[in-house]
């Protein structure tokens, strides 16, 4: 079957079969007919057929669309051609169109974060490349093809965590295609996930944290902002994306809490201490007003041009301060790990730490108990004479 685009999917016809001779017939295709016209230079539709009595397959040509409906809704098209067969019209879609639809599904229907959407689109792009290398279309995406793709990833040296994420992405993608009617079955249901190996996060000890934070901040907008960013990250353990998303009204000074919008748009309230409060007051009173420009919104932390502070700048703030103080160089997420570890070391229970960090699963939080125990063993071996 020759086609002008790389991907196809089938839809049930409006009639079950056609007789011999030239005929016109209205069929239902699961694609915007206008897109079908754009994707085919010659406006040809090749009809996959189950032959009756050994007759040759017919050739059908798109005449016109009867209803101009949107993508993912049934559209009526009129074809003419010849051939005794059961009709299964295949609409055409480009790889770019497929990825665009999947991106819309992730962003709008599943409400995933931009970072997750980018990662999933990259994974699906890799899977599509594997299918093209194998000479298969979307209909050829089965459990064997999925396992072969993951096997290639493993052979390329991808980590178990990456393989687990790509397996999860593949399941989301095949379920999406199955619900759209592009796959007859969902092969992702048969796909297992490799267990991701979990290494202990690198964290600052309490002396290193104090050394990094007890640096006198320059009394200018940038210095006051950077100090407030560092204090809030360490005091609350929030993610860098959550910090950048904070608005002024999210700070409750009286209760010393932040209203944080986390993953999956789940809102939680996170407490913070007096040092973070003092740093926030200094920033909001003496720093932030000097960076406000026309069009500046309600963002708590601002960049030098008056817009919302971006994640890259936050990473640079953390890296610069830790380098200057000679402590272990970490990312903002490293400060999140550090805050959680110090909470547990100070006697906080695991459930409270889970709620502060916004973890959906307690198992995710338990990694910090291993960090604390590991540090306890290290201190024991260094201090006990019979260790």
Give the SS3 label for residue 110.
coil
Q: 124 to each of 108, 155, 185, 352, how far by Cα in Å?
A: 18, 18, 18, 37
Q: Are 137 and 122 in contact (CB under 8 A)?
A: no
DSSP string, 10-35: EE--SSSEE-SS-EEEEEEESS-HHH
The number of angstroms, rounded, from the C-alpha of 184 to the middle of its chain's C-alpha atoms is: 26
d(CA 30, CA 10): 8
Told to judge if 336 belongs to the known catalytic residues of this protein, a careful annotator would answer yes
Backbone angles phi, psi at 359, to 5 degrees: -75, 135
Region class of 177: left (phi > 0), else alpha (psi between -120 and 50), else beta: alpha
Q: Which residues contact 117 (CB under 8 A, 6 or more apart)?
A: 103, 106, 107
Question: Active-site residue among 263, 268, 315, 319?
Answer: 263
Edge to edge, what strands does the sheet with 75-81 contain? 23-29, 75-81, 60-65, 44-45
Q: 300 to each of 219, 243, 275, 307, how far by Cα in Å?
A: 18, 9, 17, 10
Told to judge if 368 belongs to the known catalytic residues of this protein, a careful annotator would answer yes
Question: Active-site residue among 105, 130, 166, 359?
Answer: 359
Question: Active-site residue among 76, 178, 333, 375?
Answer: 333
In the chain, DSSP assigns E strands to 7-11, 17-18, 23-29, 44-45, 47-51, 60-65, 75-81, 85-93, 251-252, 257-261, 267-271
Told to judge if 239 belongs to the known catalytic residues of this protein, a careful annotator would answer yes
Residues facing 75 on adjacent strands = 29
Structure-token match 């079957």, residue found = 1
Told to judge if 120 belongs to the known catalytic residues of this protein, a careful annotator would answer no
Question: Active-site residue among 30, 225, 239, 337?
Answer: 239
Told to judge if 256 belongs to the known catalytic residues of this protein, a careful annotator would answer no
Edge to edge, what strands does the sheet with 251-252 contain? 251-252, 257-261, 267-271
d(CA 359, CA 262): 9
Query: Would you please indicate which residues are annotated as catalytic (active-site) residues?
Result: 239, 263, 333, 336, 359, 368
């Amino acid at each position: 079957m020759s086609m002008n685009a790389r991907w196809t999917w089938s839809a049930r016809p409006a009639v079950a079969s056609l007789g011999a001779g030239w005929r016109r017939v209205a069929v239902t295709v699961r694609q915007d007919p206008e897109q079908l016209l754009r994707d085919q230079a010659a406006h040809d539709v090749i009809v996959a057929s189950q032959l009756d009595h050994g007759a040759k397959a017919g050739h059908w040509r798109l005449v016109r669309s009867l209803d101009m409906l949107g993508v993912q809704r049934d559209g009526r098209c009129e074809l003419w051609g010849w051939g005794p067969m059961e009709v299964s019209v295949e609409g055409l879609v480009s790889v770019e169109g497929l990825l665009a639809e999947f991106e819309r599904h992730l962003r709008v229907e599943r409400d995933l974060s931009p970072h997750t959407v980018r990662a999933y689109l990259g994974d699906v792009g890799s899977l599509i490349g594997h299918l093209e290398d194998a000479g298969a279309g979307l209909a050829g995406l089965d459990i064997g093809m999925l396992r072969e793709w993951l096997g290639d990833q493993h052979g390329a040296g991808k980590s178990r965590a990456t393989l687990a994420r790509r397996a999860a992405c593949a399941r989301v993608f095949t379920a999406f295609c199955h619900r759209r009617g592009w796959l007859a079955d969902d092969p992702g249901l048969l796909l297992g996930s490799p267990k991701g190996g979990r290494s202990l996060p690198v964290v600052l000890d309490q002396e290193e944290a104090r050394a990094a934070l007890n640096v006198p901040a320059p009394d200018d907008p940038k210095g006051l902002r950077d100090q407030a960013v560092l204090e809030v990250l360490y005091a609350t353990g929030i993610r860098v994306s959550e910090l950048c998303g904070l608005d002024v009204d999210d700070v409750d000074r009286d209760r010393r809490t932040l209203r944080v919008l986390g993953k999956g748009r789940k809102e939680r309230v996170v407490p913070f201490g007096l040092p973070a409060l003092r740093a926030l007051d200094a920033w909001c009173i003496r720093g932030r007003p000097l960076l406000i420009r026309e069009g500046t919104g309600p963002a708590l932390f601002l960049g030098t041009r008056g817009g919302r502070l971006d994640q890259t700048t936050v990473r640079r703030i953390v890296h610069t301060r830790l380098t200057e103080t000679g402590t272990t160089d970490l990312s903002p997420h490293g400060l999140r790990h550090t805050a959680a570890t110090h909470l547990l070391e100070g006697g906080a229970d695991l459930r409270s730490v889970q709620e502060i960090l916004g973890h959906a699963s307690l198992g995710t939080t338990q990694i910090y108990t291993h960090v604390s125990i590991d540090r306890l063993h290290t201190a024991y071996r260094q201090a006990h004479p019979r260790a």
